[in-house]
Structure 1
Amino acid sequence: MSLSEKELLKRCDEMCKNTLMETLEISFCEVGKDYLVAKMPVNPRVHQPDGVLHGGAMVALAESVGSAASHMFLDANEFYIRGIEISANHVKSIREGHVFARAEVVHQGRTTQLWDIKIRDEENNLISIVKLTTIALPKAK
């Protein structure tokens, strides 16, 4: 039996308790057949010293949504998901509001998964483009 979109998003949010994702106030807001969207508030907690969103916070958002997507599309009871490579290009700065990271699968192999993640602001302006590779490691039985 497959979970509803609401149940999947709730499960993703529950995985974030007491983690970096909770510290950054990342929450999951949309899921589809081959994508997952998360949002993060832009405020002084995630700013660099000159008052714009820190690139590292964007990379943390991107890795969080890509890894959560891998968890959703693989059996999380059988695999650990780890990010093994990430590359980001920050193309626009932002000082306030929210950013939304949409992870779309490019390659979904049994062992590795490749994600294209676009981070946009509330007006749909492109803020950052991220490529994430994850690996599925079998859990010991």
Structure 2
Amino acid sequence: MAITSSATPASEPWTIELGALDRKMGVEILEESVQKVVARMPVEGNTQSFGILHGGASLAVGEAVGSWAAVKYASTFGKVVVGVDVNATHHRSASAGMIFVTATPIKLGRRMTSHEVVISDERERRICTMRITNLVIDKPMP
């Protein structure tokens, strides 16, 4: 049985909603929970001038998936998050097919979260590794 206080009531996790950029990039959600968020995105349409996946596209989708994972967690106790840090290491390129983006928690705290975000290709080769840190805050008043 979970114990909650009246100051932070337990809530259902937030359901991921794609933003305009996510839709333009062709992002699809495959799995969403507090413990793991998985999405995929086509390489086609997200390439740079040499025909390979744009590093900025990797960062954009990775930051989105990592932030969604943090919001899923924070929403269970009535909070939201704002990003404070993201970093990435690009390991290899991709020129076709789909990439898969998986965010898993490193640390889920009451004030801050950190997630590892792994971007891989269809052959499960790691393309990029990211870490994103989010600050847990009260929901802004309307």
For the criterion TM > 0.5, the same-fold answer is yes
| TM-fit CA distance, 1:32 | 4.6
CA RMSD of aligned residues (A): 2.3
Question: Could you tell me which amino acid in structure 1 is paired with residue 42 of structure 2?
Answer: P
Larger Rg over CA atoms: 2
| TM-fit CA distance, 1:77 | 8.5
Q: In the alignment, which residue of structure 2 is the partner of 1:35?
A: 36
| TM-fit CA distance, 1:84 | 1.1
Question: Could you tell me which amino acid in structure 1 is paired with residue 52 of structure 2?
Answer: V
Q: In the alignment, which residue of structure 2 is the partner of 1:52?
A: 52
Pair 1:33–1:74, CA change in 2 (3 A): closer
Q: TM-score, normalised by structure 1?
A: 0.84
State whether structure 2 residue 122 is matched by structure 1 residue 122: yes
Give, in whole Å, the separation in 2 of the partners of 1:104 and 1:77.
Answer: 19
Give, in whole Å, the separation in 2 of the partners of 1:39 and 1:140.
Answer: 30
**Structure 2: which 5+ residue stretches go unaligned?**
1-9
| TM-fit CA distance, 1:140 | 3.9
Pair 1:82–1:93, CA change in 2 (3 A): same
Q: In the alignment, which residue of structure 2 is the partner of 1:24?
A: 25
- SS class of match (2:22): helix
**Structure 1: which 5+ residue stretches go unaligned?**
none
Matches within 5 A, 1:50-89: 50-75=50-75, 78-89=78-89
